Amino acid sequence: MNIRTQLILSYIGIVLLVFFAMDFYLGNALKGVLSDRITDELEVQAALAREFLIEELPGSDRFTHPVIDGLVDRLGETGNVRLTFIGSNGIVWGDTERDGQSLIEMDNHLSRQEVQEAISEGIGSEDRFSDTTQTEYRYLVLPVKRNGESIGFCRVALPKAAINTAIGSQQRMLLYATIAGSVLAIIFGILSTGAILKPIKRLTETTQSIAAGETTSKVEVKSNNELGQLLQNFNLMTDKVQEQIDKISVENQRLESILNNMGEGVLLVNEASEITYANPAAVVMLDLPEMYIGRALIEINRIPELQALLSEAEQTSTVAFAEIRLANLQESEAEVTIVPVAAKSEYVIVIHDVSHVRQLERIRADFVANVSHELRTPLTTIQGYAETLLNSDSKKSKKRKEFIVKILNHSTRLSRLVSDLLELARLESGDVELTMTPCHLSAFYEQIMDVFEPVLEESGLVLKWDIPDDLPQVNVDHQLFMQVFVNLIDNAIKYTPDGGEIGISAEINTTNTENADELVVHIKDTGIGIPLESQSRVFERFYRVDKGRARKMGGTGLGLAITKHILLCHNGRIWLESELGQGTVFHFALPIMSTD
C-alpha cells in the first residue's frame, strides 16, 4: 500500500469517526433541547388555557359535563394539542378528545402521576401511554385556582409521535449535514493529500532520474513550507554531490592522464595476483594481451623473477625491489618496485625501463675502452720508435729518417683522433653555436673540388657533380656542413678502388609525409660496399668494417658518427644503401627552407 492510500484511508477513518461522534453527541443534545422546548411550549399553552378557564369557568358547584366540555372544546380548537380540564377531586369535566358518554365514563384522574406532581410541585409533566386514547402523550398539568381556591387542573397533552417526528426531522437534518460535511472533508482531504504528496512525488522522480545517470536533475520547488525547504535542501545536496563528483572526475582525469602518459609501467594486482589495472606503458612493457583485467599475472606473463618479487612483497608486506629482464620483444631491462597498498589486499607494481640507461652505460664503457685502445696503439708505436732512435746508432741516418716519419705519421693520426673526439663531444653536448645561413648546395662545389682534386687525380677516380643550381635553398652552418661533404666524399674515395666513379646528386623529396619537403643528397661510389650486418652500425663511434684496412686508410672510425650528428643539428637525417663489391650510396636529407 503506498503512502498516499495509507494517508487517505487514515484520514477518511478520522473524518468519519469525528463527524459521526459529533453527530451522535449533537443528536442527543438536540433531542434534549427540543424536548425541553416542547415542554416549555406546552407550559405556555397550559398557562394560556388556565387563564381562559379561570375567566370562563362557572363556580365548581355548577360544573356539568356539557358546559365544561363545550368550553374546553372551544379552547382546544385554537391549538393543536389535547386539552383536558380535571376537577380538583379528579373528575374529568372536559376533554378535546372525548365527548358525551365517553367523557363521563373516563377514569378519575386524581391519581395520575402528572396531576399528583402538579399538586405537590405546582406543575406536573409526564410522558406516558393514555388508556383513554390509546396513544402515548406528553402531559403538562397546571393547577387552576380562583381567589386562592383550587377549582381543578388544566392539562395539555401532545402526542409523543408528533414530538418524535419533530425531533427526528431535526436529527435527520443533522445527519444529512454530517454526511455532507464528511463527504466534503474527505474530498478536500484527498485533494490536499495529493497536493501535499506532489513534492514528494517530484522528489521521487528526481531521485530516480539521478539514479539513472542524469546527475544534474533538480526538483522543482513551488512552496516555502517544510516540504519546500526539504526540496531546496535536496537540490543543495545534489549540487554539493555534483561538485564533489566533478572534483573527483577532474582528479581522476588528471591521474589517468598522468598514468597514461608516464614512461613507467604501473600495474595493480589484487590478493589473488589478478591484474586490476595496467597503464599503457605497462601493457607494452609486459606485452599484455587485450583482455588482461581479472587475469592472473603469472598466467599472462611468465617472468619467474617478477613472480618471486611479488611473493616477497606479499610475505614481507614491505616494498620489494629488483632489476628484472622483461620477457617482451625488446627483452627490456627494468627496475621493478612492488608496493603493498590498501591494507595489503592490493599491490602496485611500478616498472621503470632502464634498457636505455644500461645501453648508454655500455656505450660509455665501450667508448672508454675504444678511446683507450685507439690512443694506446699510436702512442705505443711512437714510444717504440722514439726508444729505438734513442738507443740506435746515430750514423744510420736513413733508418733515423724513416723512424721520424713513422713517429710523425702516428702523432698526426693521434692528433686527428683527438680533434675528431673533441668535435664529436662538442656536437653531442648540444652546445654548438650554429651560424645558419640560407644557401644553395651547389655553392659547396668549388670548395669540395679544392680539397679533393689532387687526391682524385692521384687515384684516377672520377667525381660527377650533379646538383642543379635551381634547387631550393637550405639553412646550414656553412663551415660545419662542409664537414658532411668532406667525410662522405673522403670515405667514398678511401673505399673505392682506383679508376672508380663517385657521383653526387640531389633532388626534392615530396613523398615524405612525416616531414615537410626536404632536399635529398646522394653520394654514390663504385667501391667495396658495406656488408649488410654492418650497415646499421657504421654510424657508431669507432665502428669500422675492416679495422686494419680502415686504419691503414687513416680513418679514425669517427667520421660517420660526426657526420650523423652534424645532420641531426640541422634537423636532417642520414641513411645508406650498399651492396658488397658493387658500391655504396649514402643519402642525407635536409629540410627545405620555407619560402613564406
Using the rule CB under 6 A, is 526 a contact of ligand ADP? no
Q: H helices of 443-524, where?
A: 445-459, 478-494
- With H, G, I as helix, E, B as strand and everything else as coil, classify residue 1: coil
Q: Residue 315 is which amino acid?
A: Q
Of 338, 427, 492, 589, the one binding ligand ADP (CB under 6 A) is: 492
Q: Residue 451 Cβ, how far from ligand ADP at the closest point, in Å?
A: 16
Of 151, 550, 574, 589, the one binding ligand ADP (CB under 6 A) is: 550
Question: Among residues 170, 165, 137, which one has the least CA distance to residue 39?
Answer: 137
- With H, G, I as helix, E, B as strand and everything else as coil, classify residue 577: strand
Q: Which of residues 269-328 bind ligand ADP (CB under 6 A)?
A: none
Only one of the segments 316-324, 453-461, 471-479, 552-560 lies at the binding site for ligand ADP (rule: CB under 6 A); that segment is: 552-560
Using the rule CB under 6 A, is 560 a contact of ligand ADP? yes
Using the rule CB under 6 A, is 461 a contact of ligand ADP? no
Only one of the segments 258-266, 275-283, 293-301, 485-493 lies at the binding site for ligand ADP (rule: CB under 6 A); that segment is: 485-493
Using the rule CB under 6 A, is 588 a contact of ligand ADP? no
340 phi, psi to nearest 5 deg: -75, 135
Using the rule CB under 6 A, is 559 a contact of ligand ADP? yes
DSSP string, 230-247: HHHHHHHHHHHHHHHHHH
Which CB, 153 or 543, lies closer to ligand ADP?
543
Using the rule CB under 6 A, is 545 a contact of ligand ADP? yes
Name residue 518's beta-bridge partners: 509, 591
Of 310, 421, 489, 538, the one binding ligand ADP (CB under 6 A) is: 538
Q: Residue 522 is which amino acid?
A: H
CA distance 574 to 568: 9
Of 138, 544, 565, 570, the one binding ligand ADP (CB under 6 A) is: 544
Using the rule CB under 6 A, is 138 a contact of ligand ADP? no
Cβ neighbours, 10 Å, residue 565: 21
Of 495, 500, 574, 590, the one binding ligand ADP (CB under 6 A) is: 495
Residues 39 and 163: beta-carbon distance below 8 Å: no
Which CB, 211 or 369, lies closer to ligand ADP?
369
Using the rule CB under 6 A, is 528 a contact of ligand ADP? yes
Tell me, by CB under 6 A, how many residues bind ligand ADP.
23
Using the rule CB under 6 A, is 556 a contact of ligand ADP? yes
Using the rule CB under 6 A, is 557 a contact of ligand ADP? yes
DSSP state of 287: T
Using the rule CB under 6 A, is 483 a contact of ligand ADP? no
Using the rule CB under 6 A, is 504 a contact of ligand ADP? no
- CA atoms in the 13 A half-sphere facing the CB of 88: 12
Q: Residue 379 Cβ, how far from ligand ADP at the closest point, in Å?
A: 19
Question: Among residues 154, 166, 168, 160, which one has the least CA distance to residue 44?
Answer: 154
Only one of the segments 117-125, 335-343, 448-456, 484-492 lies at the binding site for ligand ADP (rule: CB under 6 A); that segment is: 484-492
Of 76, 87, 189, 555, the one binding ligand ADP (CB under 6 A) is: 555
Only one of the segments 71-79, 143-151, 246-254, 556-564 lies at the binding site for ligand ADP (rule: CB under 6 A); that segment is: 556-564
β-strand 501-509 against 462-466: which pairing, if any? parallel
DSSP string, 407-426: HHHHHHHHHHHHHHHHHHHH
Q: Which residues contact 452 (CB under 8 A, 6 or more apart)?
A: 463, 489, 490, 493
CA distance 560 to 387: 35
Only one of the segments 44-52, 173-181, 366-374, 487-495 lies at the binding site for ligand ADP (rule: CB under 6 A); that segment is: 487-495
Question: Among residues 526, 544, 537, which one has the least CA distance to residue 585?
Answer: 526
Name residue 439's beta-bridge partners: 474
DSSP string, 422-466: HHHHHHHHT-----EEEE-GGGGHHHHHHHHHHHHHHHT-EEEEE
Using the rule CB under 6 A, is 489 a contact of ligand ADP? no
How many helices and strands, by DSSP H and E, does the chain display?
A: 16, 17
Q: Residue 370 Cβ, how far from ligand ADP at the closest point, in Å?
A: 12
Only one of the segments 113-121, 203-211, 450-458, 554-562 lies at the binding site for ligand ADP (rule: CB under 6 A); that segment is: 554-562
- With H, G, I as helix, E, B as strand and everything else as coil, classify residue 507: strand
Q: Residue 534 Cβ, how far from ligand ADP at the closest point, in Å?
A: 7
Using the rule CB under 6 A, is 143 a contact of ligand ADP? no
Using the rule CB under 6 A, is 476 a contact of ligand ADP? no
**Residues at the site binding ligand ADP, with contacts judged by CB under 6 A:** 487, 491-492, 495, 525, 527-530, 538, 543-546, 550, 555-561, 584
